[in-house]
Amino acid sequence: SQTIHQWPATLVQPVGSPLSLECTVEGTSNPNLYWYRQAAGRGLQLLFYSVGIGQISSEVPQNLSASRPQDRQFILSSKKLLLSDSGFYLCAWSSVGLRNNQPQHFGDGTRLSIL
Amino acid sequence: SQQGEEDPQALSIQEGENATMNCSYKTSINNLQWYRQNSGRGLVHLILIRSNEREKHSGRLRVTLDTSKKSSSLLITASRAADTASYFCATDAPGAQKLVFGQGTRLTINP
A61-82 pLDDT, tens digit each: 678 999 999 999 999 999 999 9
CB A72 within 8 A of CB A28: yes
Backbone angles phi, psi at A93, to 5 degrees: -135, 155
B2 and A106 in contact by Cβ < 8 A? no
Phi-psi region at A34: left, alpha or beta (left = phi > 0; alpha = psi -120 to 50): beta
3 state SS of B44 = strand
Report CA dihedral (B75, B88, A31, A110) to the nearest 10 degrees: -130
Tell me, what's the pLDDT at A98?
58
Q: Output phi, psi for B10, to 5 deg.
A: -140, 145
Nearest CA in chain B to A103: B45
| Residue A111, min C-alpha distance to chain B (Å) | 8
The parts of chain B modelled with pLDDT lower than 70 are: 1-3, 93-94, 96
Put simply, the answer to whether B42 touches A109 (Cβ < 8 Å) is yes
Q: Give the pLDDT of residue B1.
A: 44
Q: What is the pLDDT of residue A60?
A: 81
Residues in B touching A100 (Cβ below 8 Å): 30-31, 92-94, 96-99
User: Which residue does chain B place closest to A101, by CA atoms?
Assistant: B31
In whole angstroms, give the CA distance from residue B35 to residue B24.
Answer: 15
Of A44, A88, A101, the CB nearest to B101: A44
Considering only CA atoms, which of B67, B65, B72 is closest in space to residue B22?
A: B72
Q: φ, ψ for residue A50 (rounded to 5)?
A: -140, 130
Record: contact B43-A96, CB cut-off 8 A:
no
Interface check B36 vs A, CB under 8 A: no
pLDDT, one tens digit per residue, over B44-71 is: 999 999 999 999 999 999 999 999 999 9
Using the beta-carbon criterion (under 8 Å), do B97 and A90 form an inter-chain contact? no
Confidence of residue A100 (pLDDT cuts 50, 70, 90): low
Pick the closest to residue A6 from A97, A93, A69 (CA basis). A93
Amino acid identity of residue B64, one-letter, is T
> Binning pLDDT at 50, 70 and 90, where does residue A59 land?
confident
Distant-in-sequence, close-in-space partners of A107: CB < 8 Å, separation ≥ 6:
A4, A5, A6, A23, A90, A91, A92, B42
Strand, helix or coil at A99? helix
